[in-house]
Every structure is written in structure tokens, then in C-alpha cells.
A and B are shown apart, each in its own frame.
Chain A
Amino acid sequence: MLSSLQNPRQAAAQLMNFGLILSTAFMMWKGLSVISDSPSPIVVVLSGSMEPAFQRGDLLLLWNRNFFSETNVGEIVVYNVKGKDIPIVHRVVRKFGAGPQAKLLTKGDNNAADDTELYARGQDYLNRKDIVGSVVGYMPFVGYVTIMLSEHPWLKTVMLGLMGLVVVLQRE
């Protein structure tokens, strides 16, 4: 570590390396976002309302384009409700009408009642524009790290510190 401080050229290279890793990750995320037409193409399941299909911490891959058919009943969608910033993963159980004005109703497989209660005041149905994407791919457990990080904020500091330390110590 001390040696890298003595050599400013090497220190700069390491800083560049760290920046490169960060920007690559960011570009991949945004690239995936463009391909899937979804503001957040990968989401982590936060609640158990879709159990046993999805548990907390599972990773879902979203797709938000309608190439072959409209978003239909039976699809599992991620949607946002006005005024609430937490996206919800539930299944579409009713659809009335077609096109962008179609009225969609969702329900969690593990919930007894449909989502009317979760929607904004006076909102009875979702529209296509409320939907962030339909779930197409599934990967268990992997997202649990992010849940840990958001529930125990000090872990974030520890992890960033460790990452920085590794980059500084690493000399290649």
C-alpha cells in the first residue's frame, strides 16, 4: 500500500482501474435496460406475496416489450403505484379491454385478496404504462446480498472499504 503511494503513476492506474470496473457495471445495467425497454431490468424480490414461486432475495429478469402479444392474464408483472416508490411483483389475474387502455388487475399468488387495496386512492385497475416489465427469467438467492445491504446500512460502508482496499493492494 505504501509503495503505491510512493508511485503516483501506479496509484493513478489503480484509480482508473476502479473507475473502469464501476463504469462497466453501470453500462451493462443501462444496456440491459435499453434491450429490455425497462427502467430496471433486474429486480430483487422483497416480499413473500408470490411464494412459493419467489422468495425474498430471488433475482428476476424483466422484459417490457410486446413483440408477439400484449401483456396478458397469467403473466407476472412488476408495477409501480403512484406515490409509492417500492415496485411490486404480482400476477395479472384480470384484463378488460385491449391496447394501452386495457384495465389490468393483479394479485399475489400467496395473497388471499387482489391488489385493489395496494393501488393508489381511487384507482381500481392498472394500465400498461404502470407496468415496469414482465418476469421472464428467475435466479434464486443471488439478490439476497442487496437485501442485507439495505437492511444493514453499515455493511455498505464495510463493503466499499474492502473493495477500495483490495483495489489499492492489488498490483497487476
Chain B
Amino acid sequence: MYSSIVRLQNTFGFFTTVAFAVACIIAASDLFSARTPSVGVLKTTNVQVVRGRPHYYSSKKEEYAIIRFSLDADLSSLFTWNTKQVFVYVTAEWPSAGGSGSGQNATNQAVIWDSIITSPSADHLANLGPVAMRKLRRSAAGKSIDPSRGRLSINNQRPKYQITHPSSKVANQEDVVLRLHYNVQPWVGILTWNPDEDFLKWKTLKGNLSRKFALPGLKKKDEGKTGTRS
């Protein structure tokens, strides 16, 4: 009955139980840390619509919106000991031709820019070149949590993704808004997004919506040089 196999089994069983309990406590600790992110500025700086092809071998012509924007946000309260990374993304949203207004019911939604902000303890996992990696690690030397990384101040940022629509038409689209979202990836536990309503100590992300704007008409070739900037 008390053979070494049984003892080994019991030890392993106890180890997994304890590990699971500790993981649950760590996951639950997220609920007790306040999340009070805020957005200062989210606005477009320059909007263009150009014609292009989805990829090199395609002969299909589509219209692409290039939306430059400025963003000023403080997400530092999202960085706790259980935060592995925060995925920040900006979407452009617009209603369908016959559709409802923008917002949660927006029928067209596309990410134009995103960014992965790793916690210093997860820096080694980031997909970066050696120079950028060294710089990133030095920026938080000796710290395992670095809330200052959550302070974003981005000016006239080029979008990472040029967006289009399955109909290939986006020019002159009205009622477009930009919206800032975040997704907190824990070391263990539940993945969380910016809540629609206040939930315990987690506040909503206020001011994460830009003013409505319209996409301009297709940029003519001869207009290219004078390109408007506002």
C-alpha cells in the first residue's frame, strides 16, 4: 500500500493541486486591482483613399483608406503582476449602406493599427530584432512591472493596415469613427477586453471614440503632389 509508486503518485497529485490553487488565486487577484485607463486624444490627422491591388498577383483594383491618427492614452493601470502583455488596437467603424449607426452595432469594423506592449517579465518572448530587444530590455532594467509603458503618446501615426470593404468601395464613406480598444493577456487566468460597463474595480475606457469623419473621394493622380494635410 505504501509502495514508492503510490508515494510518487501522491506527491505529484499534491503538486498539481497546489499549483492549480495558486494559479486560481493569481487569476482572481486581477479582480482586486483597479483598472482606470483614460484616453486624452484620439483623432484623425490625415485621411486618404487610394486605389490598389490586394496583393502583387491580383488584377483586382480596390479602394483603400489610409487613416493617419493621433493618440494620447494612459493605460498604465492595466499593468499588474499578472499582466503578460497588453494588446492595444484602433479600429475604424462605419455603418453599412442601409445600416444602423456606428458604435457597438457598427456593421463594418477593421483594425487600422495595433501594438503589443509586453510586461518587462515577458520581454524575452517579444518578436524583435536583437537591437530593438536590447533597447526594450534596458528600458525596464531591474523592473518586473513597468506601468510607464502604458502611457501612449502617438502623433500623426501611419496606419499599419490599409482597409477596404468586400465591395471594394470605401471612398466618400460618411460617419466613420475610430475607436481604441485593449486586450489584457494574463500570465494565467481570464483574458479581458475594455468593458462596456463598469465592472467592480474595472472602469470603462472613456473618450475612446473619435469624432465622426468622412472618407474623402478617390485621390486623383495629379493631386498626389499637393496632398492635403490637416
Q: Which residues of A contact B (CB under 8 A)?
A: 51-53, 55, 69, 72-76, 91, 93-98, 102-103, 109-110, 116, 124-125, 135-140, 166, 169-172
If A94-B163, A98-B105, A139-B23 touch, does A109 touch B5 (CB 8 Å cutoff)?
A: no
Please list the 7 inter-chain residue pairs (A to B) with the smallest Cβ-Cβ separation, ordered nearest first. Answer: A52-B125, A94-B110, A93-B111, A73-B109, A53-B185, A95-B109, A98-B107
Residue of B nearest to A117 (CB): B55
Task: State the CA gap A52–B165 with chains docked (Å).
Answer: 29
Residues of B within 8 A of A172 (CB): 1
If A51-B127, A170-B6 touch, does A95 touch B108 (CB 8 Å cutoff)?
A: yes
Residues of A within 8 A of B15 (CB): none
The 8 A CB mask of B168-198 against A (1 = contact, 0 = none) is 0000000000000101011111110100000
- A-B CB contact pairs (8 Å), 15 listed: A51-B126, A52-B116, A52-B118, A53-B85, A73-B91, A73-B109, A74-B91, A96-B107, A102-B107, A109-B87, A110-B127, A137-B190, A138-B185, A138-B189, A166-B5
Minimum CB–CB distance from A105 to chain B (whole Å) comes to 8
Minimum CB–CB distance from B137 to chain A (whole Å) comes to 13
CB of B228 closer than 8 Å to a CB of A? no
Decide if A94 touches B84 in the complex (CB within 8 Å): no
Residues of B within 8 A of A96 (CB): 107-110, 165-166
Task: State the CA gap A29–B188 with chains docked (Å).
Answer: 21
Task: State the CA gap A53–B9 with chains docked (Å).
Answer: 33
Residue of B nearest to A125 (CB): B166
Having A72-B109, A116-B54, A138-B189, one finds 18 other A-B pairs with CB under 8 Å, namely A51-B127, A53-B116, A73-B110, A73-B181, A74-B87, A74-B111, A74-B183, A75-B193, A76-B191, A91-B87, A96-B166, A98-B107, A138-B185, A138-B191, A139-B23, A139-B188, A140-B187, A166-B5
Task: State the CA gap A76–B161 with chains docked (Å).
Answer: 18
Decide if A73 touches B107 in the complex (CB within 8 Å): no
Residues of A within 8 A of B118 (CB): 52
Minimum CB–CB distance from A107 to chain B (whole Å) comes to 8
Q: Please tell me the number of chain B residues within 8 Å of chain A, measured between CB atoms.
A: 41
Residues of B within 8 A of A74 (CB): 87, 89, 91, 111, 181, 183, 193
Q: Which residues of B contact A (CB under 8 A)?
A: 1, 3, 5-6, 9, 23, 54, 84-85, 87, 89, 91, 96, 104-105, 107-111, 114, 116, 118, 122, 125-127, 161, 163, 165-166, 181, 183, 185-191, 193
Task: State the CA gap A12–B194 with chains docked (Å).
Answer: 55
Task: State the CA gap A73–B90 with chains docked (Å).
Answer: 10
Decide if A55 touches B125 in the complex (CB within 8 Å): yes
Decide if B188 touches A169 in the complex (CB within 8 Å): no
Task: State the CA gap A11–B186 with chains docked (Å).
Answer: 46
Residues of B within 8 A of A171 (CB): 1
If A73-B110, A96-B165 touch, does A137 touch B189 (CB 8 Å cutoff)?
A: yes
Task: State the CA gap A136–B9 with chains docked (Å).
Answer: 31
Task: State the CA gap A137–B9 with chains docked (Å).
Answer: 28
Residue of A nearest to B161 (CB): A93
Minimum CB–CB distance from B71 to chain A (whole Å) comes to 16
Minimum CB–CB distance from B101 to chain A (whole Å) comes to 13
Residues of A within 8 A of B116 (CB): 52-53, 109
Decide if B111 touches A73 in the complex (CB within 8 Å): yes
Task: State the CA gap A72–B193 with chains docked (Å).
Answer: 11
Residues of B within 8 A of A124 (CB): 166
Residue of B nearest to A54 (CB): B185
Task: State the CA gap A96–B127 with chains docked (Å).
Answer: 30
Residues of B within 8 A of A169 (CB): 3, 5
Minimum CB–CB distance from B166 to chain A (whole Å) comes to 5
Minimum CB–CB distance from B176 to chain A (whole Å) comes to 14
Residue of A nearest to B54 (CB): A116
